Chain A
Amino acid sequence: QKEVEQNSGPLSVPEGAIASLNCTYSDRGSQSFFWYRQYSGKSPELIMSIYSNGDQEDGRFTAQLNKASQYVSLLIRDSQPSDSATYLCAVNRRGYSTLTFGKGTMLLVSP
């Protein structure tokens, strides 16, 4: 079983729509959850962190965590073409200093 799973996409949404990105993880002891955005040819950029169940909002981005379902999601409201990138879900498993990354979901926002 893969430790962090994401749909590879691409997820295509029109400009102005809500993009919903999903991630599941296998280790129930995971304690910290992150979303990174990676543009083609660039390094990942941290956009959201979430540590407890519920929603965490920052501007157009909302991260949602459900530990019982082992599920993390990222909502992007009012999607813009500049949001087109690969979004990486990362999980910090208890007892580990490293992050476990999913393979990423490619998001395409069309004008």
Chain B
Amino acid sequence: GAVVSQHPSRVICKSGTSVKIECRSLDFQATTMFWYRQFPKQSLMLMATSNEGSKATYEQGVEKDKFLINHASLTLSTLTVTSAHPEDSSFYICSARSLAQGDEQFFGPGTRLTVL
């Protein structure tokens, strides 16, 4: 149990385009989902926390107008990187948490974004 999927696993896009990444909890209802970013050889950086049906809470320094997060259901959250630029190239990882499963977070496989 506790499987989280992400789609796409890899995306290459041109500068200025927008990219949507989906995160799904497959076998549990995720009351909270989290979005992280990780640059090569660096630690995880939390970008935002989203609860189903409410606005996401962004970490300091993360532009909410650039990284749009929607958590429309208990099994789906999306991250849209708007007007992507090369500096947005990174590994984006979502995780999901269910109150029924305590404080554990289960991670999706990640999406590697490359902006040309």
A-B contact count (CB 8 A): 46
Between B32, B105, B108, the greatest number of chain A beta carbons within 10 A of the residue's beta carbon is seen for: B105
* Contact, CB under 8 Å: A34 / B97: no
The interface size of chain B toward A, counting residues with CB under 8 Å, comes to 19
Q: Nearest CB to that of B109 among chain A residues?
A: A43
Chain B residues, CB < 8 A from A41: 91
Q: Which of B2, B46, B93, B97 contacts A43 (CB 8 A)?
A: B93
Chain A residues, CB < 8 A from B46: 98
Q: A44-B44, A88-B44, A101-B44 are in contact. Are A49 and B107 (CB under 8 A)?
A: no
Can you report 26 A-B residue pairs in the complex whose CB atoms are below 8 A from each other? A32-B102, A32-B104, A36-B107, A42-B109, A43-B91, A43-B110, A44-B93, A45-B107, A46-B105, A46-B106, A46-B107, A49-B102, A49-B104, A88-B44, A90-B105, A97-B32, A97-B97, A98-B34, A98-B46, A98-B49, A99-B103, A99-B105, A101-B43, A101-B44, A102-B43, A103-B43
- Please give the residue numbers on chain A whose beta carbons come within 8 Å of chain B beta carbons, in ascending order: 31-32, 34, 36, 41-46, 49, 51, 88, 90, 92, 97-99, 101-104
